[in-house]
Amino acid sequence: MLFYIAIGLFFGLGVAALIIFGIDLIDNRIRMVSDFEKFFSIPVLGAFQSRDKYTSVREFNSNPEALNDNNYRKELGEARVNFSQRLGDGKLVGLVSPGSKEGKTLTSFLLAQEVAQTGKRVLIVDLDVYSPMMSNDMQVKGKSGLQDYLFGEMSLDEVTYSTKFANLDIVGVGQNFYNTEIYYDSQRFESFLNEVSSHYDMVFFDTPALLYVPEVAEFLQKVDGLVYTVKIKETSRSSFNRLLSKTKLIDITKLGAIVIGVSETELDTYGKKHEYYKRRRRSMLPEYDTEDLPLAHPLKRKVAFQNVAG
């Protein structure tokens, strides 16, 4: 009898292991910040907690005071410091995600308003003519915007709108909803980039989902830095790998990733690790020369993380 029970347990555990392995193959969504750090060598610039309220730009635009919450200020402040250190003197920042509904628009807004809090003049540009969530949530959808500028019909001042947030302006997608093409190599688009660079200290571009609109890669060659957005339980490893393959040949600085939708428990763990590496950075970094190591090397990944943790 015991023999048959043992055989049953053995086969039961084996079947369970196969089921778990199969589920992992089918559903490979990133579920924790540590998952992302395990599979990718992209440094994490910041992690934003999952919340029941204020999950869209529209909700923050309706109640700007929500951003005064101490937890928000801490999360955003850490991300801004890491982000700014890696960007250096750059001004133009593109935010990308593999697909839609992965937090790119929300991340663009949160980073932009956080930088604006420091007194810098900041502009958000909505490039997503296919799904202009930023324009919609910031209440500029249907107003003159980028497309009107590109057609030579209006000036930058005529398509720029102030927001409820100090030092933060926005350029929406524009009024021509029948034209979903933006010619990134046109002279008019180059003029737009030159103008916003001279008028603002920093410009954030909310781009269409790169895997759906691959021509966005052409635009990304024109910015100074690239930020990846990852949403817990939404972004999959396979889709993020495809995103990396689309951007790896672009000769710009890959600043790192912002991870959103993190649980409160994991955020606390991540914060403690962040502080640990911050304390250890000065004593550890001079001991190693990692410049010639491959990016995937564990030591290279550790040093990359330490660089943004400081």
The 10s digit of each residue's pLDDT in 264-306 is 766 655 555 554 444 444 444 444 344 444 444 444 444 444 4
Taking all residues of the chain, what is their mean pLDDT, rounded to a whole number? 80
Contact between 46 and 74 under an 8 Å Cβ cutoff? The reply is: no
Query: How far is the C-alpha of 162 from the C-alpha of 123, rounded, in Å?
Result: 9
Amino acid at 52: D
The pLDDT of 208-219, averaged and rounded, is 89
Query: How far is the C-alpha of 97 from the C-alpha of 37, rounded, in Å?
Result: 17
Reply yes or no on whether the pLDDT at 252 is more than 60. Answer: yes
Q: How many residues does the chain have?
A: 310
249 CA to centre of own chain: 19
Query: How far is the C-alpha of 228 from the C-alpha of 240, rounded, in Å?
Result: 9
Which superfamily does CATH assign the domain made up of 26-276 to?
Answer: P-loop containing nucleotide triphosphate hydrolases (3.40.50.300)
167: left (phi over 0), alpha (psi -120 to 50) or beta: left
Domain limits, the chain: 26-276
Strands 160-162 and 168-171: antiparallel
* Highest-pLDDT range among 11-15, 106-110, 212-216: 106-110
The pTM (predicted TM-score) of the whole model is: 0.78
Reply yes or no on whether the pLDDT at 73 is more than 90. Answer: no
Specify the pLDDT at position 276.
43
Residue 164: other Cβ atoms inside 10 A? 13
Cα end-to-end distance, the chain, whole Å: 62
pLDDT confidence of 20, banded at 50, 70, 90?
Answer: very low
pLDDT confidence of 262, banded at 50, 70, 90?
Answer: confident
Contacts 24+ apart (CB under 8 A), 307-310: 307/43, 307/85, 307/86, 307/281, 308/43, 308/44, 308/45, 308/82, 308/85, 308/86, 308/256, 309/82, 309/274, 309/277, 309/278, 309/281, 310/85, 310/277, 310/278, 310/281
Specify the pLDDT at position 220.
92
The pLDDT of 171-187, averaged and rounded, is 78
Specify the pLDDT at position 282.
44
Q: Which residue has the tokens 């990134």?
A: 184
